Structure 1
Amino acid sequence: MTGKLSARALELTERRVPFVHARVVRAQAPASAHPGDEAIVHGDGTIDGFVGGQCAEGSVRTAALGALHDGGPLLLRVLPQGDAEFPETPGARVVVNPCLSGGALEIFLEPVLPPPLIEVVGTTPVAEACVAFAALLGYATARSLPELPPTAHTSAVIVAGQGRGDAESLRAALDAGVGHIALVASHRRAAALLDELGLTEAERARVQAPAGLDIGARTPPEIALSILADVVRVVHAAKAPVPERPSQAVDPVCGMTVTVGPDTPHLTTGEGEFWFCGTGCQGRWTSGGRATG
């Protein structure tokens, strides 16, 4: 990426904001984009960078937002109408832009999603082993004091103080809405602590106590392994938070699927509301050139 684009990507990553990295990998003249051109597509559909003209950009925006919500990478082929010379690429998604001025493009779209965030409370050997295992899994970790609430979008909280601030940590995690809370304690102490807190049935269901899967763990690393195995199950069962996908419409002139944003050309007439891929199709509609689909 360029320096400015790299800095923007780093900023979004540090803030745990999902985005899509788009890179042109093949281009056919007279396309305005070139191999290596890059852009960041934000969750609201705005684009930083350059990966093609107005029509190509619209196709990239729509496909990138789909990839962001599906969570997987995508190779997008943007072809002019009637073009058959650009070599096929198996597995690519193909869009045909009737309004494309010419030249075909292939653009690789890679969602950049924040890793699951696991908060660990305590400085015990089990807590330290949990942090180490989470790092091996590629998860982000945060260390917290018992009286502090978990950070936003925390996937799980592991309470491993072993008697130091456990009640405060559980209450803070429950109040923050964390869906999975693992309490490192014996069956007897865990039951007594949960009774002491006076939890509702719904709150009790969010606390795994004792923490982890029953694998006969004894040592701190074994206990941490059992806890993180359960956390992996929870993480994969939950979908990573992504921004709500903007609404879409079909351009009545060229038939393209258009992601609707503040700058999307549109008209309101007696026939209804219409959105367009660009000002060219909007002008054709206004001048009487109805759907060519």
Structure 2
Amino acid sequence: MSVLTRVDDLRSGRTPFVLATVVRAERPTSARPGDRAVVLPDGSVEGFVGGTCAESTVRTLCLRLLATGESTLLRITPTADSETVAEGVVTVGNPCLSGGSLDIFLETVLPPVLVHVHGDGPVARALVDVGRAIGHDVREASPTPPHDLAVLVVASHGRDEEPLLTAALRAEVPYVGLIASRRRGQAVLAALPVTDAQRARVHTPAGLDIGARTPAEVALSVYAQVIAEHVRAHEPAPPRTAVDPVCGMAVTIDESTASVVDDGTTRYFCGPGCRRTYTDDPKRHRA
């Protein structure tokens, strides 16, 4: 399967990823302009953007980008002393390279915000229309919230409210809103079989107070609140990292990371080369 075909599959499956594309390669490097790879939230890399050391650098930065949603140009060069960020370029020193440099564009691709709306009245229909107009993935609410659900808005005027609100709160959906008057909303919340802390997370009346009157204005106030609170699906936990004791690079710790246990401490490496260098003379590289 080609990388671009894999990209299409990931998009359709609502899987976050970073598309890494080599845009410049200075010899001697194993990568060539146009080489591509995708990096997934679990740290796995599919495709090719360079050798083991370059791939380690790409993985570490991509996992950071997945948490922020940003994209950047990554420059890997053996001449830089430390990581620097300037004008959209992250420069990382990599003494393991065989003399060349790599420029790799890292494009972070996050799925649209997933919104569930329950109800079939004017406000519910406006929530669907406005949400889709601003680029959200708006669908009918389901009894079991998907893992990446970011927003649930119940606008059914008393129909099947409690089960959906309860399921969303227990699943820790980031934004839960109920379209209701203040009095009725508080009555609905009081009947929910959840903790006080969970109950306090429900926005009711949902939306910012902008004096909304029409269904479209109410929908706009809800999405304004979602945007103001920077609501996204659950963000991945930041990756565990360590410093390679041989080359000084930051490396991501996962099942594929090269490592050795020395003197009761696990040391992690950008690749097998640095691990061999360390095991040949551990005392020289111990901090």
Residue in 2 aligned with 1:118? 115
Verify the 8 A CA contact 2:174 2:233 in the aligned structure 1: no
In the alignment, does 2:46 pair up with 1:48?
yes
Shift of 1:185: 2.2
Q: Secondary structure at the match of 1:59?
A: helix
1:86 aligns to what? none
Could you tell me how far apart the structure 2 residues matched to 1:211 and 1:275 are?
Answer: 48
Distance 1:171 1:258 in 2: 41
1:127 deviation in Å? 0.8
Structure 1 residue 14 corresponds to structure 2 residue 41: no
Deviation (angstroms), 1:199:
6.3
Change (3 A) 1:212 1:27: same
Contact 1:74–1:108 (CA under 8 A) maintained in structure 2: yes
Q: Which residue number corresponds to residue 64 of structure 1?
A: 62
Q: Residue by residue, what CA displacement relative to the aligned partner does 1:176-225 show, whole Å, maximum 9, x if unpaired?
A: 33343222223343344344547653343222222222222222111211
Instruction: Show the counterpart of 1:214.
Output: 209
**1:203-282 matched pairs, under 5 angstroms:** 203-234=198-229, 236=230, 238=231, 240-270=233-263, 272-282=265-275
SS of the residue corresponding to residue 7 of structure 1 reads: helix
Deviates most, 166-175 or 223-232: 166-175
**Structure 1 residues 88-167: aligned runs within 5 Å:** 90-144=87-141, 148-167=143-162
**Contact 1:22–1:110, Cα closer than 8 Å, also in 2:** yes
Note if 1:79 corresponds to 2:72: no
Residue-by-residue CA offset, 1:28-87 (whole Å, 9 max, x unaligned): 12222111111111222221001111221111112212222233112111112489xxxx
Task: Confirm or deny: 8 A CA contact 1:43 1:245 kept in the other structure.
Answer: no
Residue 59 to residue 229, structure 1, CA distance change in 2 (3 Å)? same
Distance 1:172 1:45, change over 3 A: closer
Give the partner amino acid of 2:156: G
Aligned 8 A contact 1:43 1:242 in 2:
no
Among all aligned residue pairs of Structure 1 and Structure 2, give the percentage whose two residues are the same amino acid.
46
SS of the residue 1:118 aligns to:
strand
**In the alignment, which residue of structure 2 is the partner of 1:38?**
36
Q: Which runs of 5+ in 2 are unaligned?
A: none
Distance 1:286 1:215, change over 3 A: closer
Inter-CA distance 192–91: structure 2 relative to 1 (3 Å threshold): closer
SS of the aligned residue for 2:144 comes to coil
Q: TM-score, normalised by structure 2?
A: 0.86
Residues 81 and 202 of structure 1, relative CA distance in 2, 3 Å threshold:
closer
- What CA deviation, in whole Å up to 9, does each residue of 1:236-286 have, x standing for no partner? 0x5643433442222222222222232332222337332222222222223
Q: Considering only CA atoms, is the larger Rg found in Structure 1 or Structure 2?
A: 1
Q: 1:268 to 1:82 in 2, by over 3 A?
A: same
Query: d(CA) in 2 for partners of 1:41 and 1:198?
Result: 40
Matched AA of 1:219: T
**SS of aligned partner of 2:217:** helix
CA–CA distance in structure 1, aligned partners of residues 176 and 248 of structure 2: 49
Unaligned runs of 5+ in 1: 84-88
1:90: Cα distance to partner? 4.3
1: CA distance between counterparts of 2:189 and 2:262?
62
| Larger displacement relative to structure 2 (25-34 or 165-174) | 165-174
In the aligned structure 1, how far is the partner of 2:12 from the partner of 2:242? 33
Give 1:91 deviation, angstroms.
Answer: 3.6
Residues 124, 76 of structure 1: CA spacing in aligned structure 2 closer, same or farther, 3 A cutoff?
same
Relative distance call for 1:268 and 1:193 in structure 2 (3 A) is: closer
Distance 1:110 1:214 in 2: 36
When the two chains are superposed, the root-mean-square deviation of aligned CA atoms in Å is 2.8
3-state SS in 1 of match to 2:55: helix
